[in-house]
Amino acid sequence: MAKGKIFQTMGREIGVFVALIAVMVVFSAIDEHYFTMANLIDIVDQSTINGLIAIGMTFVIVTGGIDLSVGSVMAIVIVLVGRLLTEQGMDPISATIVGIILGFALGSFNGFLITRLKLQPFIATLGTMSVYRGFAYIITSGWPVLNIPQEFRTMLDGDFFSIFRISILILLIFAFITHILIKSTRFGNYVYAIGSNEEATRLSGVSVDFNKLMTYGLCGVGAALAGMVMLARLGTGEPAAGQGYELNAIAAAAIGGTSLAGGKGTIIGTLLGAFLLSALKVGLVVVGVDAFWQYIATGGIIVVAAYFEVLQNKIKGTH
């Protein structure tokens, strides 16, 4: 009975985990170097930036929304934090806090457009995607921010006891906090309720607008963390950074079982989805497949994940 309940509540996560193992087995059979500790750590490492964005995106999608501006939020945070570090001499901790606050503010502005001006999430974030990107170019006049201090780079992407990068730890901590937030708090219950039936949730006395705005703010925080990890990893801040990352984030969330129609999704599933996407991309590189095929694979995965959701609903409807 207990096993059946676990499978019922975490069936999608278990399915993604099994798929992750299957991908690893297939690529390991093709190339023995794939299934090594160094490569497995590299797979997790490669998923940190996408995973951070996807976790924030999960909150938004669960409410029935979408955020296409996450890549541009990354860009603004990258160039602004980069300039604070290099030109203003700000210490790494303060600069990181500013970056998180900025990400939350930019995400919350998306939420304001959606909740107060009643714009569709797709249209609102499509607009801010362009606006935020423009500001990133204006801040730097189109030039990259160079010579990021080593202290900042070590703090966010240095080695953790020579085992793995600190950015992996940041991803896991962010995943843990947001998992508790969505599963064990009243706010999390409201997020699921809004995605399942927004009008009924509003009539029950819940402040739908406030809670939706907070989800977009959290999405901005995830994008900001991802941007600062990228800044630390590369050592330069490009205003063009983050383009196309919204697609990867949506793919990771969809793979992990987040319903694009809203009302369903978990942080654990999204995290596994990010790992699976990374394992697939690294595997394609290892076996020598052209990197351009990664775009086809990512788009195909979104379609398959969405169709799997349709099939699940049809199966439930027959019972």
Q: Give, in order, the Cα–Cα distances in Å from 141 to each of 64, 120, 131, 148, 163.
A: 36, 31, 15, 18, 39
Residue 318 is predicted with a pLDDT of: 55
Structure confidence at residue 23 (pLDDT): 86
pLDDT confidence of residue 1: 41
Q: Which residue from 34, 157, 162, 141 is spatially nearest to 92, judged by alpha carbons?
A: 157
Tens place of pLDDT per residue across the chain (319 aa) = 455 555 556 677 888 888 889 888 988 988 888 888 888 898 999 999 999 999 999 999 999 999 999 999 999 999 999 999 999 999 999 999 999 999 999 999 999 999 999 999 999 999 999 999 999 999 999 999 999 999 999 999 999 887 889 999 999 999 999 999 999 999 999 999 999 999 999 999 999 999 999 999 999 999 999 999 999 999 999 999 999 899 999 999 998 989 888 999 999 999 999 999 999 888 888 777 777 777 787 777 778 777 777 776 676 665 5
Task: Write the CA distances from 10 to 7, 14, 182, 269, integer angstroms.
Answer: 5, 6, 15, 9
Strand partners, 165: 159
Instruction: Give residue 313's pLDDT.
Output: 67
* Contact yes or no for 65/124 (Cβ under 8 A): no
The per-residue pLDDT for 9 is: 60
Q: What is the pLDDT of residues 44-56, one digit of tens each?
A: 999 999 999 999 9
**Which tens digit of pLDDT belongs to each residue from 21-41?**
988 898 898 888 888 888 889
Whole-structure pTM value: 0.92
